[in-house]
Amino acid sequence: MNQLFSFEVAAKEGTARAGVFHTAHGPVLTPIYAPVGTQATVKAVTPQQLQEVGASLVLANTYHLYLRPSDAVIRSLGGLHAFMNWDGPILTDSGGFQVFSLAGRDGKQSLRRIDDDGVTFRSHLDGRRHRFTPEKVMQIQENLGADIVMVLDECAVPDDYDYLKRHALPRTHAWAERCKVAHHRSDQALFGIVQGGVYPDLRAASARHLVALDFPGYAIGGLSVGEGKHEMYTTLEATTPLLPEDRPRYLMGVGTPEDLVEGVARGVDIFDCVLPTRVARNGQALLRTDKYNMRNAQFAEDPVPIDATCGCYTCRNFSRAYVRHLLVAKEILGATLLTMHNLYTMLNLITDIRASIVEGRFEAFREAFWDARRESSSAEEGA
């Protein structure tokens, strides 16, 4: 393995880990939550604002950037870091999830077709036909130039055991092998993706195959796609012990406050999710213990911050009444202020989780987290 991407576990409590993953654009302190910048931007905020809320790792989307403006254009402009003016680590997914989610759109199966060599799909932008193979996806991600990149995998329906075993897993494993052969940039860490739905035996088979390929990190895919929380957590419990201790573990597309706490408890190091930014644009504020619809009339004359315990720019400077006014008036600043608050909430939470592991008090932190959520829920029911 390239020593540029070494990973050290600094502290453990049970299965929870605090570590450091080294990349070409600096160290990543884990556990970590990565804001999602699908189109080379985290919606509604600037790179400077991202730094101010505590972001260090950002995710961008291979599928979307391939279609627009194209990976070739981004490469000609110096790669993703220069293009989006972000000098910290960047992670790109393979685009596989987006391609596979095209199946069944509008009740049809015509937007993508999969075979053992790759996937043919039609752009959601203009309907033009494109082809993703493992080799093509590696070329795109090398052009984009992210620090952490993903193999092409098949993200299949999580409860179709027969299809997963006979088709999706063999393809995922064969494609991972091809991706490793096709990937050449020494300044990028290529992660394998463990699949297998909610079935422990399939997850174990996938983990064994990918670990044997000796990737510098491992993602856990195919979760938070329709299964319940209990199934997701049970699947994590069956999967993370099979992955190497000296490699980071990335839970793809998962990132509610409770998922961060429970994912870390089960050995996850890296998270990403569009939730904090997406719900901000819909007027929802996230707290560790609750969430508020800031468009509600109850906030129209409320002079206090969204969260009196929060240290974000929004809560230090503006009232709930002002944030609600911006949302009702459809002012762009409303989305920006809520996005900054929601990202700060998630990033501050993951920072506190890491500190609790380093200080040997993670289980106490976890218990206090759930006590606070139960108390908040009880107070809401009694209101």
Any idea which residues carry the catalytic annotation?
93, 272
Dihedral sign for Cα atoms in the order 282, 31, 20, 218: negative
Return the structure tokens found at 171.
Answer: 């393809």
Contact 314, 341 (CB under 8 A): yes
| Amino acid letter, 186 | S
Closest CA to 141 of 57, 82, 61: 61
Return the structure tokens found at 121.
Answer: 């799909």
Find where tokens 């990565």 sit.
34
Closest CA to 72 of 103, 120, 80: 80
Return the structure tokens found at 20.
Answer: 């450091």
Closest CA to 327 of 279, 278, 287, 281: 281
Closest CA to 271 of 35, 26, 10, 92: 35
Return the structure tokens found at 75.
Answer: 């490469």
